[in-house]
């Protein structure tokens, strides 16, 4: 896909990997829809970053858990530019809970996490597909997590939601071909406020150091690391669909780094 002049929607793009995706797309000449649910100040900073890169960009508040919001988000892009070329489903939530504590999560917790992490991407895809089919092509990237592959993560509900997102991506890649490509990116640890807000400064530094001692490539990902893969799947992966790309510094390999 030639990103110059394309129209790309990035959900959950106020901060972190979503913001990095939006700004990298803008630098490549795409027209970008920046989306947020609550973090308006951060989203406006992302919007300005896109504009500073020389891109035409639009800010839209929408909660992907609500189908009406997803349809309105897609329609905002169509109203402004008349097309939708790409969608990055990045919005996601969790509730931190030890998997051994079976009382830490309620049915409502599962339903809320699924509503954003699984149903939200489905609704966004459904809202964008008609425009993509009309123009004869499109590309979608779902941002998942290595948690959905390894079965470890911030909570059992989160792990289950990301596993569901991964499998849903396979089903929809088949259903949407040959017109639309759909791939999934599974990050490991990313240096964002997701974990920084979970710990104090000392605890976060310890958590990051422990991760980097474990993974073969000895580093946590930055938001730009994740964005580079997402953007490549839109721009360079013209014959790639149905893939689940691990962007986890080798965590999925299942062993620590060899002694040096």
Domains belonging to the chain, first-starting first, are 7-253 (3.40.50.720)
| Chain-centre distance for alpha carbon 157 | 17
The tens digit of pLDDT for each residue in 113-144 reads 999 999 999 999 999 999 999 999 999 999 99
Q: Which residues are catalytic?
A: 158
Q: What is the largest CA-CA distance in the chain?
A: 57
Q: Stretch 175-202: mean pLDDT, rounded? A: 87
Mean pLDDT of the chain: 94
DSSP state of 252: G
For residue 146, what are its two tokens?
A: 């290595």
In this structure, are residues 61 and 39 in contact, taking their beta carbons and an 8 Å threshold? no
**Bigger pLDDT: 151 vs 196:** 151
For residue 182, what are its two tokens?
A: 């759909």
């Amino acid at each position: 896909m030639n990103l110059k002049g394309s129209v790309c929607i990035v959900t959950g793009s106020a901060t972190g990997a979503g913001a990095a995706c939006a700004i990298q797309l803008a630098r490549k000449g795409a027209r970008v829809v920046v989306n947020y649910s609550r973090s308006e100040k951060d989203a406006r900073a992302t919007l300005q970053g896109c504009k500073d890169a020389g891109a035409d960009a639009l800010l839209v508040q929408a909660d992907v858990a609500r189908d009406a919001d997803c349809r309105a988000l897609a329609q905002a892009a169509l109203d402004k530019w008349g097309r939708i070329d790409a969608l990055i489903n990045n919005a996601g939530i969790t509730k931190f809970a030890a998997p051994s504590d079976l009382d830490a999560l309620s049915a409502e917790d599962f339903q809320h996490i699924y509503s954003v992490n699984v149903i939200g991407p489905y609704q966004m895809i459904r809202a964008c597909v008609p425009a993509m089919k009309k123009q004869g092509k499109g590309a979608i990237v779902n941002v998942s997590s290595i948690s959905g592959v390894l079965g470890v993560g911030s909570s059992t509900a989160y792990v289950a939601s990301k596993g569901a997102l991964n499998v849903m991506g396979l089903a929809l890649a088949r259903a949407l071909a040959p017109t639309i490509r759909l791939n999934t990116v599974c990050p490991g640890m990313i240096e964002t406020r997701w974990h920084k807000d979970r710990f104090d400064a000392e605890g976060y530094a310890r958590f990051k150091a422990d991760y980097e001692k474990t993974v073969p490539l000895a580093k946590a990902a930055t938001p730009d690391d994740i964005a580079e893969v997402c953007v490549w799947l839109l721009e360079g992966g013209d014959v790639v669909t149905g893939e689940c790309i691990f962007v986890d510094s080798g965590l999925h390999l299942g062993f620590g780094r060899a002694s040096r």
